[in-house]
Amino acid sequence: MTYIWKEWKELSRGKGLWLALSMAMIISVFILWQSKSLPSDQGLEVYLLSLYEMNVFLIPLLSLFISSFAVIQEKEQKTLMIILTKKESYRSFFLKKTMGVQFITVLVFLCWYFVLAIPMKFLFLFDVSSFGVYLLTFFTLLFIFNQIGLLLGSICENRMQLVGANIFTWFFFIFLLDLLFLYILPLVNEENITTFSVFYFLDPLHTLHFYLETALGLYPLDHLSRLMKKMVWLQPKYLLWITLMVWSVLSFELAVRLRRRGGIS
């Protein structure tokens, strides 16, 4: 609880968290305004999918910067050195830091989406389960890129290096991975499509988008071709949880093992 309060004071004093929230609010309201002409019985699902697709370009970059700068700040202010000289392990420190950053960012965005649900109830036929599916997808996206940002903050030595790492990571997930999959796609056949799908669904952007489409009923799984059935070898909800666990655990362990501690040998 002490670390959560500490992170709240640090993040709330900075501009990054509020800038990210304000941008998310503007996008949400703008898309809501554009979606008001949709039929009330189908508009909610279309709006939620459109909102998520816009957030995919925004939230990963913002969460990378917020979480990574939270770690690099500990190095610059020498608080990390003080903590580690008190014989607390880096793993323990990083776990508490992770919990604090994740809790605060999730809580702030959750409050906004509860406010956003009010006009949604007046404009659309509001479905709690669809809204819950969206929240699960959004916060999984936020959680994964927060964790990657914490990793980058742990392994980078200064802010200039960190800015470059954040931008490259965002560019890698948004553009480079898709280009790689498009290059490999002509080589995919019935024999290797399951192997291809493993790597495809380890990309959180692919998995989360697929889960949201299917959970909202916009992409039914009842009439898949034989090839697509081999591609989707597991229920989307299980793919989501596997992707979340893989990236969370991998990012945490890499951050602990490859850390750069701001001058501490």
DSSP structure string for 41-98: TTHHHHHHHHHHHHHHHHHHHHHHHHHHHHHHHHHHTTHHHHHHHTT--HHHHHHHHH
CB 157 within 8 A of CB 225: no
Q: Is this structure's pTM higher than 0.85?
A: yes
| Nearest partner of 242 among 204, 194, 195, judged by Cα | 204
How many whole angstroms separate alpha carbon 246 and alpha carbon 209?
17
Please give the average per-residue pLDDT across 244-254, as a whole number.
Answer: 95
Whether the predicted pLDDT of 120 surpasses 60: yes
**Higher per-residue confidence, 38 vs 200:** 200
Please give the average per-residue pLDDT across 206-232, as a whole number.
Answer: 85
CB atoms within 10 A of CB 33: 11
Asked which of 74-78, 123-127, 160-164 is least confident by mean pLDDT, the reply is 74-78
Whether the predicted pLDDT of 263 surpasses 70: no
Whether the predicted pLDDT of 5 surpasses 90: no
Residues above pLDDT 90, as percent of the chain: 57
Kindly list the distances between the CA atom of residue 71 and the CA atoms of 14, 15, 160, 169, 208, in Å, as whole numbers in the listed order. Answer: 14, 16, 14, 17, 27
The whole-number pLDDT of residue 259 equals 78
How many whole angstroms separate alpha carbon 36 and alpha carbon 123?
6
Whether the predicted pLDDT of 42 surpasses 50: yes
The whole-number pLDDT of residue 213 equals 92
Whether the predicted pLDDT of 246 surpasses 80: yes
**Higher per-residue confidence, 5 vs 197:** 197
Name the pLDDT band for 260 (thresholds 50, 70, 90).
low
CB 201 within 8 A of CB 210: yes
Whether the predicted pLDDT of 75 surpasses 90: no
Whether the predicted pLDDT of 58 surpasses 80: yes
Please give the average per-residue pLDDT across 115-127, as a whole number.
Answer: 89
CB 106 within 8 A of CB 143: yes
How many whole angstroms separate alpha carbon 65 and alpha carbon 150?
9
Name the pLDDT band for 191 (thresholds 50, 70, 90).
confident
Please give the average per-residue pLDDT across 238-256, as a whole number.
Answer: 95
Asked which of 75-84, 120-129, 191-200, 231-240 is least confident by mean pLDDT, the reply is 75-84
CB 130 within 8 A of CB 216: yes
